[in-house]
Structures are given as C-alpha cells and as structure tokens.
Amino acid sequence: MNSQDLNLSRRTILKTAAAAGAVGAVPGLQSAVWAAGSDKPELEEVKIGFIPLTDCASVVMASVLGLDKKYGIKIIPSKEASWAGVRDKLVNGDLHMAHVLYGLVYGVQMGIGGPKKDMAVLMTLNNNGQAITLSKALADKKAVDGASLAKLMNTEKREYTFAQTFPTGTHAMWLYYWLATYGINPMKDAKVITVPPPQMVANMRVGNMDGFCVGEPWNHRAIMDGIGITAATTQDIWQDHPEKVLGCTDEFTKKYPNTARAVIMAILEASKWIDAGLQNKLKMAETIAAKSYVNTGVDAINQRILGRYQNGLGKTWDDPNHMKFFNDGKVNFPYLSDGMWFMTQHKRWGLLKDHPDYQAIAKQVNKIDLYKQAASAVGAAIPKDVMRTSKLIDGTVWDGKDPKKYADSFKLKA
C-alpha cells in the first residue's frame, strides 16, 4: 500500500468515525476498517421487510440514524402488510432480509406454514413486549386473566375465537401456551384465526374475536380505544423470551456473507442506541410512530417501551421486563435453545408430525459464527453458552437439553 492509499483509508476511517459520532453512535475504528477492506459488503443496498410493530425499531433506526452507512451499506426498510407476505417475499427474493417472527423462519425451514426453504436467523431483534388482549365484552363478564377466562368458557358454552398473527409464529405459540396453562386446549376448546397485526384492533372492534395475541403497540391501542384489556404480557409467560429475529434465506448468507455481517453490525448498534436511555427511546417512539412505519399515535408506543403498563381496568404497574432491544448483547445472541423451543411447540400442537433433529436444525438455521464475528467487531458481549435456561408460566423449565422429552411432557397437546 503506498502512502496515498494509506492517507485515503485513514481519511475514510476518520470520516466514518465522525459520521458515527454525529448520530450519537459508538464510533469504533475496528468496524470502520472492517467495511473498507476485503470484507466490503457485496451489496450496497439491502431491502429489509418489516411489519408495523414497535419491535421493528432497531431496523428502522439503523437506517434513520445512518448507522448502516458506517458499515458500507444502505438499509431500505420496506413496510409489509402481513407475515404471509413477508414469508413469500423472503422466499422468492423480493426482500433480502426481514424483521420477522422467530417461529415463521422455523416454519419455512421445516416446510410447515408455507413453502419449504433453508432459512437463516442472523440475530434476535428483541425480547418481551407482546401481550394477550381480551375484549371489553369478556372483561365485563369478569374474564380478565387466564383463570377467569377458563371459568367463563366452562360456564358459558359457545364458540370462542382468538386471533394470532401467523400459524407457526411467536404470537400463536404464546397464545396456545397461555391458554393451555389454564386448561384451555387451543385446538379443541376454541377457534383460532390468523389476522395481521395492524388489523387486530379493527377486527376486535367489530366483534370478530374474543381475544388476540400480538406485538405492541396494538395491545395498548386496544386499551386506548376502549375495546380491549391486557390479560397477560408475554414476559409473564416467559421472561426475556425471544421474539422477532433478523431473518433471511440460507442462500443469502452464503452468497453475501459480508453484507449479512454489515447489517448485523448496524442493527446491533441501533439496538444499543435504543436501550441506552430514556431520550433515545422517546426519539425512537416518535420516529416509528410515523405513517411510513407503524402509523399510530406516539402515545400508543411510548408508555410500554419504558415498562409503564396499564391493563385497561384501572390497574397500572412498572414492568422491569419490558421490551428490550440490546440488554448488553443478551437480547441479540441467536441461542440454539430459542430456535429449538419453537420446534418443540410446533410438535406439541401437531404442526410437526414427528420429532425433528432439534439441535442439528437449530445449528443450521441460527448463524452463530456470523453473529459472533459481527458482535465482536462492534464490541457487543457474547454469551458463553449457545443454550439458555428459562422457567415458563406453568413452572416448566426449558434448557434445550432434551427437546423430545420436553415436547412430549405437556398434558395438553394436539
């Protein structure tokens, strides 16, 4: 390298660092060099699909704050109408990547809930922050939580309808798990329908459902509109549960590994930025409330991201386990046990007929090496273990050690 080249690359690094500093990010020379050398991203523009939900924030903010530029890419957020649409566009290549339901990626991988294709989870985007909403009509009959809902369904026999957002997705699994915990079999005792997140509130308003499980801000919106109450948060079901991921096809990671790494780095930095403090969270809420993103009032978003909850019946509380985007890197690591859990529930509810090789599939889908390279480049902490242990609402412990036994252990199953 001659002195002119040296000056040039040094200038690029300084400019990159300055640009990063300007958006309140964490400037790092290491990452700037990363994007400039042989690891230059193969694609300059990356189209990332998202659904209008609070947890699309790290993808949107990586673009809005210009953190993507720092890593030699331009993220183009693409607003999508439904999870089925996101799935189809990922599979056929109309989208490079997406903010997507963890269980959807595994559904496609296993050929359930749509076409079969090898998929990739690049990182987890958030933990917590979804909820189960029951209609005001049910609340008026004293069904305000799992136990009282079960009681009402036993005494007042009729068809009860609950909505989730995608058959193999996270909301379906939280809903089923929660109902089953209170002795309600979601496959036999209720009718379950699929509704895109932004359409949940409107559908409940016209009486199409008794309850739904969805991401924010749509649970809080139902309270603001006086049509629903929060019966449970998903962090009540599983504290720090995995939720949305950055997903793409396996083929994409093989063809464009540098691009994949650059996107992870930019989104990691955006995640860290969001979780850094109150001001950033409020700026994020203001940004994503806009028509081009979530399209709702900022007041529907800004309470619950700070952990300020109300149930719509006069109860308020501060929840320390609110939606988290970074949490010192603990959120973003693509734990194998997280991916495996969704398959155990797909098996439990009859979506998978046989036990898959849980761990082998999770190792194939969750791109742990790629994630570790990106995380170490931006200085995000990396957990020592690829598995984690959690206790769920019904008292069962999930640690990924014996997925077959775990999947078969539930009293209520398909």
Is 333's pLDDT higher than 60? yes
Eight-state DSSP code of residue 326 = -
Distance CA 51, CA 140 (A): 32
pLDDT at 69 over 80: yes
Residue 177's pLDDT band (cuts 50, 70, 90): very high
Q: Which residues contact 384 (CB under 8 A, 6 or more apart)?
A: none
pLDDT at residue number 38: 81
**Mean pLDDT to the nearest integer, 139-166:** 98
Helix, strand or coil for residue 118?
coil
Q: How far apart are CA 376 and CA 193, in angstroms?
A: 42
The predicted pLDDT at position 20 comes to: 39
Q: Which residues fall within 8 angstroms of residue 234, CB to CB, at 6 or more apart?
A: 128, 129, 130, 131, 132, 170, 174, 213, 241, 243
Q: Is the pLDDT of residue 123 over 60?
A: yes
User: For 354-413, how does the pLDDT look when each residue is reduced to its tens digit (9 = 90+)?
Assistant: 999 999 999 999 999 999 999 999 999 999 999 999 999 999 999 999 999 999 999 999
| Residue 344: DSSP 8-state | H
Q: Would you state the structure tokens that stand for residue 130, as one six-digit string?
A: 């979804």
Residues 6+ positions from 289 with CB-CB distance below 8 Å: 295, 296, 297, 298, 300, 301
Per-residue model confidence (pLDDT) at position 36: 56
Look at residue 37 in the predicted model and tell me its pLDDT.
Answer: 66
Lowest mean per-residue pLDDT among 19-23, 246-250, 255-259, 300-304: 19-23
- Judge whether residue 3 has pLDDT over 80: no
CB 325 within 8 A of CB 126: yes
pLDDT of residue 113: 77
Whether the predicted pLDDT of 18 surpasses 70: no
Nearest to 102 by CA among 45, 168, 160: 168
Under the banding of pLDDT at 50, 70 and 90, the label for residue 127 is: very high
User: Is the Cα torsion angle 191, 295, 327, 370 positive or negative in sign?
Assistant: positive
- Output the six-digit token pair for 281: 């969270």
- At residue 25 the predicted structure's pLDDT band, cuts being 50, 70 and 90, is very low
The pLDDT-based confidence of 12 (bands split at 50, 70, 90) is very low
Mean pLDDT in residue range 308-335? 98
- Residue 366: predicted pLDDT: 99
The whole-angstrom separation of Cα 7 and Cα 13 is: 10
pLDDT at 34 over 70: no
**Rounded mean pLDDT of 71-91?**
98
Q: Which residues of 361-395 are buried (b: 16+ CB within 10 A; e: fewer)?
A: bbeebbbbebbebbbebbebeeeeebbbebebbee
Helix axes 170-181, 336-348, angle to 10 degrees: 60
Averaged pLDDT, 121-149 = 98
The separation between the first and the last C-alpha atoms of the chain, rounded to the nearest angstrom, is 65
Tens-digit pLDDT profile for residues 243-264: 999 999 999 999 999 999 999 9
Q: What is the mean pLDDT of residues 162-187?
A: 98
Residue 260 has what pLDDT? 98
**243 vs 11, residue with greater confidence:** 243
Q: Measured between alpha carbons, how far is 211 from 178 in angstroms, rounded to an integer?
A: 12
CA–CA distance, 190 with 176 (Å, rounded to integer): 10
CA pair distance 128, 54, nearest whole angstrom: 11
Token reading at 246: 């950055």
Asked if the model's pLDDT at residue 275 lies above 60, the reply is: yes
Look up the pTM and report it: 0.92
What does the pLDDT look like over 198-248, one tens digit per residue?
A: 999 999 999 999 999 999 999 999 999 999 999 999 999 999 999 999 999
Give me the pLDDT at residue 114, please: 84
Does the structure show a pLDDT above 90 at 28?
no
| Helices 57-64 and 278-288: angle between axes, nearest 10 degrees | 90
Is the separation of the CB atoms in 74 and 90 below 8 Å? no
User: What is the secondary structure of 157-173 as a DSSP string?
Assistant: -S--EEEES-TTSHHHH
